[in-house]
A and B are shown apart, each in its own frame.
Chain A
Amino acid sequence: MRKGMFYGLLFTAPAILGFAIFTLGPMIASLVLSLTNYNVFKEQTAFTGLDNYMRLFSGEDELFYKSLGITFYFVVLRVPAVILLSFGIALLLNLNVKGRAIFRTIIYLPSIVPAVASAMIWMWLLNPDLGLINSLLSRLHLPTSNWLYGEGSVIPSVVLTTLWGIGSTVIIFLAGLSGIPRQYYEAIEVDGGGWFRKLSHVTVPMVTPTIFFNTIMTIIGSFQVFNEAYILTQGGPNNQSLFYVFYLWRTGFRDAEMGYASALAWILFVIILFFTFIVFRTSKSWVYYEGGDRA
């Protein structure tokens, strides 16, 4: 074995081992368990083949479809909101204004607040009776909302609370923006183009790899939404925020039906895989890599 190879393996071993022990191993285990009726409290576990999956898809488990629908709704609302908003903020933060570092810090700051703490803050802010947001709205004679406590408003409200933590997405956009060579903008200036031309002909095409990356990560993260249901709503009101992963957790850890929960987990895995794949496939037509063909 070449010396370089040896050191390469040595230094990557912690990551490889970590992956194998804490990710790959449990994944294989859960795939196997998803084919059984494994209940943590039961001594006997029987291999039941695809029974769990049949039970899920047959419509017997209404909450499966319900939680899936709710999660899709959340993803559809949240992904465009996160991408557009964080891109817009990144554009602003990329302007050469005084105190730029401070603004950047402020935008990033919420991302380091623990999820539980910020969830508690949002619960207060969105309180229908005493919350700051409704107070402001009613003072401005605008309609108020039940926010997290209304059946129709709970998902948009949860989306709103998660937008608070987009700092890290903004940072990645900023990195992408700062990599755009200045001469492209200068070329447009020479040609007499304004800010819109710069945006549409240089900025957006040049950051498509970043948009691509952020979109994929946001989709994956949104499908896995859990904290919000666990802390803010407990799935209510009337199951309207019963997110998929929350339902999965409830099945696995409260009802101890680990086999069934594993099946739920694998279905989510396939769904995420599918959407990631779709985005990858379409990326060929819109992601532009500098110094290369379109990807």
Chain B
Amino acid sequence: MSQPRKSVFITLALVLMLAAVLSACSNSGTPSPDTSASSGNSGSKENIKLRMTVWGSPEEVAPYKKAIQNFEAKHPNVKVELQHIAADYDTKLTTMVAGNDVPDIAMMESGTIAFPMAEQGKFYNLQEFLDTDTEISPDTLVPNITYSLEPGNVIGIGPGPESFALFYNEDIFKDAGIEPPPSNVADAWTWDEFVEVAKKLTMDTNGKTAADPDFDPKKIKQYGANISTWWGVYSNFIYSNGGDFISADGKTFGLNQPEAVEALQKISDLMNVHHVSPSPVQSKNIPATNVALQTKKVAMTVDGQWASAGLAQSKFNFNVGVMPVMKEPVTTVVCGMFSIFKSSKHPQEAWELLKALLDPEASIDMLTAGTWMPSPKDWYTDPALLAKWTENLDARPSGYKEAVVDVILTKGHQTPTGYVKNFNNIMDLVNPALDKVWLGQQTAQEAMDSIAAKVQAQIKGRRDIKE
């Protein structure tokens, strides 16, 4: 029996040795303070390297590269290393933070790890930069594109605001002889008008519409509408109906209140009562908005304005109108944000880079392609600048200026991920309950009441009010 024991010893010895080697490695890594860094933002021309992480498709990364080029041309001593993390971004970034290998500036998503990180003081307060900067301030930006941990503590600025609108296939309306959705907010459809039109445009395989008594909801060929069950989409209608995810004082759950419940129920009814919008199960067959509209699987769909890019490439007669209104016209504004990590040794340069990334000139390709909208307000109000990204473009159909541009400036509402504290944990309870509503197994009131007590325990307040 001496043999196995010996090998155990040797293994142990190896492990110890290894531990010694590893700790030696890490020791040599930590000290040797970076002498060049201490001069910080004194404006000296020492060579600086900034690291930045982003997600996105290759087309979305292209404008970052362009912005970086512009930035590097203006700041010859700064080199920017762009790290494109295409998949599992949050997992990767979490791992980087755990390993103390953090970028200087990063694209962050308000609904996931941005706020948990901010709560631990990982980001610079960009308000301090905004206060002193001569070029941009909150007033020069489109509303609702900055994210704040609490009033006065800005943790990120969105490079491209996105609002929601009603995209539709013009040919379907023409063939059916129905007036398409209005693009002006003042003329927006009521919810009931919207449902009526959606019924007429929903067709089964026998050619009967949902307005017909012989309609077979099991064999739908063309849906009149597509309202997805993502919070980004249904939040528009909750706000439009005067509801909210959380009460104005931040103390109580809002989705079981009458306004929110009514909105949720009306969306569920689209699927389960009127059969004009695909249920979550059916929507597994619905392709992306551009294909769904082009192939006439769907006549009109509520989607983010980023859908314009795909629609423009699909080459068919699409257009955009304002969303139906429950009580007030509202659009939820969603966007990613750029944040600067506290660990960055060059915050001033990172801030300059962030501004370069917000510059619409750098991302003009994405603006004209339809994926993005600009962040500075004057690109909406100055006719010359507005023309640059909205006129004579496939991605910007005739209804665009009224239905999207005007609406985002005047009717925008901040995304719930930006102001509801503990949003993820609340939605962990809300989403499973909503599954039952979308499937028509429970009413919105029943489902939201059933989780209200549990959600209440997760309510931690709002970020947009001082405690």
Q: Is A96 an interface residue (CB 8 A)?
A: no
Contacting residue for B116 out of A20, A146, A149, A255, CB 8 A: A255
- Within the assembled complex, what's the spacing in Å between the Cα atoms of A41 and B91? 13
Task: Give per-residue flags for B208-238: 1 if the beta carbon is below 8 A from chain A beta carbons, else 0.
Answer: 0000000000000000000000000000000
Q: Tell me whether A239 is interfacial, beta carbon within 8 Å.
A: yes
Docked-complex contact B432 and A41, CB < 8 angstroms:
no
Asked whether A21 lies within 8 Å of B18 as measured between CB atoms, the reply is yes
> Per-position contact with A for B54-98: 1 when CB-CB < 8 Å, else 0?
000000000000000000000000000000000000110010011
Is B94's CB under 8 angstroms from A149's CB? Answer: no
9-residue interface stretch from A74-82, A126-134, A180-188, A210-218: A126-134
- Beyond A41-B122, A238-B433, A238-B435, whether A123 also contacts B284 by CB under 8 A is yes
A-contacting 9-mer, from B7-15, B196-204, B266-274, B404-412: B7-15
> Are B120 and A42 in contact, CB atoms less than 8 angstroms apart?
yes
* Given A236-B432, A254-B113, A255-B116, A130:B94 Cβ within 8 A: no
Contact of B280 with A by CB under 8 A: yes
Does A193 have its Cβ within 8 Å of any Cβ on chain B?
no
**How many angstroms between the C-alpha atoms of A215 and B113 in the bound complex?**
40
Question: Cα distance A239–B431 when bound, in Å?
Answer: 9
A237 within 8 A of B: yes
Taking a contact as CB atoms under 8 Å apart, the answer to whether B436 and A129 are in contact is no
Contacts A9-B10, A256-B94; A39 near B120 (Cβ below 8 A): yes
Q: For chain A, what secondary structure do more than half of its interface residues adopt (helix, strand, loop), or is it mixed?
A: loop
Min CB distance B388 to A, Å, is 39
When distances are taken between beta carbons in the complex, the residues of chain A under 8 Å from B436 are: 238
Q: How far is the CA of A41 from the CA of B95 in the complex (A)?
A: 10
B385 within 8 A of A: no
Q: Return the chain A residue nearest B278 by Cβ.
A: A129
Q: Chain B residues near A123: list those with CB within 8 A.
A: 284
> Which single member of B15, B285, B435, B439 contacts A127 (CB below 8 Å)?
B285
B130 contacts the other chain (Cβ, under 8 Å)?
A: no
* Residue A253, interface by CB 8 Å: yes
Which A residue sits closest to B11, measured CB to CB? A16
Least CB separation from B433: chain A residue: A238
Residue of B with least CB distance to A128 = B281
A239 B94 Cβ-Cβ under 8 A: no
CB distance from A11 to the nearest CB of B (A): 13
Prevailing SS type, chain B contact patch: helix
Partner of A256, one of B22, B116, B281: B116
Is A43 part of the binding interface, using a Cβ–Cβ cutoff of 8 Å? yes
Are the CB atoms of B14 and A40 closer together than 8 Å? Answer: no
B32 within 8 A of A: no
Tell me the residues in window 90-139 of chain A with beta carbons closer than 8 Å to chain B beta carbons.
123, 127-130
Q: Which residues of B contact A279 (CB under 8 A)?
A: none
* Chain B residue with Cβ nearest A138: B218
Scoring B residues 256 to 297 as 1 if CB is less than 8 Å from chain A, else 0, what string do you get?
000000000000000000000000111011000000000000
Question: How many angstroms between the C-alpha atoms of A76 and B280 in the bound complex?
Answer: 29
Once bound together, how far apart are the Cα atoms of A255 and B113, in whole Å?
7
Beta-carbon contacts of B113-147 to A below 8 Å, as 1s and 0s? 10011011110000000000000000000000000
Cβ–Cβ < 8 Å partners of A255 in chain B: 116, 424-425
Indicate if B112 sits at the interface (CB-CB under 8 A): yes
Contacts of B121 in A (CB 8 A): 43
Residues 310-355 of B at the A interface (beta carbon under 8 Å): none
Expressed in whole angstroms, the Cα–Cα distance for A237 and B18 within the complex equals 46
- CB distance A239 to B117 under 8 Å? no
A237 x B435 contact (CB < 8 A) = yes
List of B residues within 8 angstroms of A254 by Cβ: 90, 112-113, 424
Q: Chain B residues near A127: list those with CB within 8 A.
A: 281, 284-285
Alpha-carbon distance A25/B444, docked complex (angstroms): 49
Shortest Cβ gap from B106 to chain A (Å): 13
Determine if A258 is an interface residue (Cβ-Cβ < 8 Å): yes
What 0/1 pattern do residues 415 to 458 of B give for CB contact below 8 A with A?
Answer: 00000000011000001110110010000000000000000000
Q: Show 10 A/B contacts (Cβ-Cβ < 8 Å), sorted by A.
A: A16-B14, A17-B18, A40-B98, A41-B97, A41-B116, A43-B120, A127-B284, A129-B284, A239-B432, A258-B98
Identify the A interface with B (CB < 8 A): 9, 13, 16-17, 20-21, 24, 39-43, 123, 127-130, 146, 149, 236-239, 253-256, 258
Nearest 3 Cβ contacts at the A-B interface? A41-B120, A238-B432, A237-B435
